[in-house]
Amino acid sequence: MGFAVGIAVLLLGVVLGWLIVAVGAAIAAIFAFLWIREVTSPVRTAEPPAVPEPVTRPAGPAPPAHKGREAMPEPGEGEIIRFPRSRFLEGATLGLGGVIGGIVTLPVAGFALLPAFTDQGVDDIDVGALDDFAENRFVITTFLLDPEQGEVSRRTAYVRNNGLLDGKPSFTILSSRCVHLGCPVQVNGLPIDEEEKKEMIGKTEVRRIPTAAAVGFGCPCHGGQYDAEGNRTAGPPVRALDRYGFKVKNGRLLLSKTYSVSKVEGKGSEAKIKKYELMGPGQHVDGPEALLYPIEPPGR
């Protein structure tokens, strides 16, 4: 049992961190040593066999092994072969250990490995030409995450063109999902008197509304506030707003995988971002509290 627990802790450590791996390895090693010691103790503590009296052999050729006074009795017809109790206990212990190990290991392995396979099929989402995003303005951009599911999969991203960085386009693309409990955050700032632009791109209708001067974002549910880089400035959210990755292809902006952010230092194209795998609302991505949220199912 101790060995199985050690292996389970070691496997958990693969997800949680190397310190836990070391603790699990230590537990497994200690109990493996105790197990081997116990299993081999009858052999180690057994009395050395008594030296038999020298046998005076009768003269003449030796009799066959199954004949004579010293021969083993021949097994009778249909005699049952019996297994000692220790063999049963050994098999039961190994079987039980295997079952417990499987129960503990399969969920951990599933959570650790499945995202690598299930997160492959999300296509990049085209949200418009680069010219549709004026520099240094947030554009409220909505799109369908999965056209097959229809409007229920409509998402909102706040897209700001930061201009060029080292000759390449730079964008800040914030998710509208509040990282407290998931309400949609709204732009704080002056509205702009411009028409919403709609464009069919593939199977999805993309809508874009330019904003005048977004100074930040606010959540209508519990008053969470964020600055223009998505950093939390007030209220109950636990980290900065999640962001979309992006690519520029043939002069068009493509949104890619979302990721979580603990904090952003600097602004616009110069910003330094501490990125993490996408986590759910309310979940810490760094600090000691992050240990409470080791695994997050795939999604975005």
Measured between alpha carbons, how far is 254 from 51 in angstroms, rounded to an integer? 86
Q: How many residues bind ligand FES (CB under 6 A)?
A: 12
In a 13 Å sphere around the CA of 13, the CA atoms on its Cβ side amount to 17
- Which listed residue (37, 198, 203, 222) binds ligand FES by CB under 6 A? 222
Is residue 290 within the footprint of ligand FES (CB under 6 A)?
no
d(CA 108, CA 87): 32
Smallest separation (angstroms) from ligand FES to the CB of 225: 8
**Minimum CB distance to ligand FES smaller for 98 or for 182:** 182
- C-alpha span between 214 and 141 (Å, rounded): 14
Minimum distance of ligand FES from residue 224's CB (angstroms) = 3
41 versus 233: smaller Cβ distance to ligand FES: 233
282 binds ligand FES (CB under 6 A): no
Helix (H) / strand (E) containing 222: none
Residue number with CB closer to ligand FES (170 or 231): 231
User: Is 177 one of the binding residues for ligand FES (CB under 6 A)?
Assistant: no
Q: Does 37 participate in binding ligand FES (rule CB under 6 A)?
A: no
Q: Figure out which of the listed residues 180, 208, 243, 284 binds ligand FES, where binding follows CB under 6 A.
A: 180
Using CA atoms, how far residue 286 sits from 105, 227, 292, 294, in Å, is 26, 20, 10, 11
178 binds ligand FES (CB under 6 A): yes
Amino acid at 219: C
- Contact set for ligand FES, span 223-252 (CB under 6 A): 223-224, 235-237
Q: Which residues pair with 227 in a beta bridge?
A: 216
Q: Tell me the window of 69-77, 132-140, 155-163, 222-230 that interacts with ligand FES (CB under 6 A).
A: 222-230
Q: Which stretch binds ligand FES (CB under 6 A): 13-21, 95-103, 175-183, 244-252?
A: 175-183
Separation of alpha carbons 129 and 249, rounded Å: 9
Q: Can you point out the beta strands (E) in the chain?
A: 125-129, 138-144, 154-165, 168-175, 186-188, 197-201, 204-210, 216-218, 225-227, 232-234, 240-249, 252-265, 272-276
Binding-site member from 183, 213, 273, 290 for ligand FES (CB under 6 A): 183
Smallest distance from the beta carbon of 267 to ligand FES, in angstroms? 23
Binding residue (CB under 6 A) for ligand FES from 20, 139, 206, 219: 219
Part in contact with ligand FES (CB under 6 A); list of ranges 106-114, 147-155, 187-195, 215-223: 215-223
Interface stretch with ligand FES, choices 57-65, 126-134, 141-149, 180-188 (CB under 6 A)? 180-188
Closest CB to ligand FES among residues 219, 240: 219
204-210 and 197-201 strand pairing: antiparallel
Distance from C-alpha of 206 to C-alpha of 102, rounded to nearest angstrom: 47
The phi, psi pair for 225, rounded to 5°, reads -125, 145
- Name every residue whose Cβ is closer than 8 Å to that of residue 234 and which is 6 or more positions away in sequence: 223, 224, 225
**Site residues, ligand FES (CB under 6 A):** 178, 180-181, 183, 219, 221-224, 235-237
